[in-house]
């Protein structure tokens, strides 16, 4: 199982840590690289946009999920389709 591990970030000049599974952390770093942004800058952007009810780790996971979903082909079905009736 891919257990969450603590990763250090700097947000608005303050050190913090976020617990993310390695797969999410790797995807997050890759997205930052693709955007040409330092990972701390991208984390700060997500931090500013998240609601108070959402933790930073959850906000990062949701961000990664949305980014990866956006890369999926538009023609690919994303919702469960009802079975064909015979």
Determine the pLDDT at residue 12: 87
The answer, yes or no, to whether residue 65 has pLDDT greater than 80, is yes
* In the chain, where the domains are located: 5-70
| pLDDT tens by residue, 10-51 | 998 999 999 999 999 999 999 999 999 999 999 999 999 998
The per-residue DSSP string of the chain comes to: ----EEEEEEETTEEEEEEE-HHHHHHHHHHHHHHT--HHHHHHHHHHHS-TTS-HHHHHHHHHHHHHHHTS-TTS--SPPPPPP-
pTM of the predicted model as reported, rounded to 2 decimal places: 0.80
């Amino acid at each position: 199982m891919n257990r969450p591990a603590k990763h250090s970030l700097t947000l608005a000049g303050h050190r913090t840590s976020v617990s993310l599974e390695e797969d999410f952390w790797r995807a997050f770093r890759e997205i930052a690289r693709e955007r040409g942004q330092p990972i701390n800058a991208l984390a700060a952007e997500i931090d500013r946009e998240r609601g108070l009810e959402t933790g930073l780790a959850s906000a990062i996971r949701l961000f990664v999920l949305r980014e990866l979903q956006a890369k999926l082909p538009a023609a690919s079905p994303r919702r469960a389709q009802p079975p064909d009736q015979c």
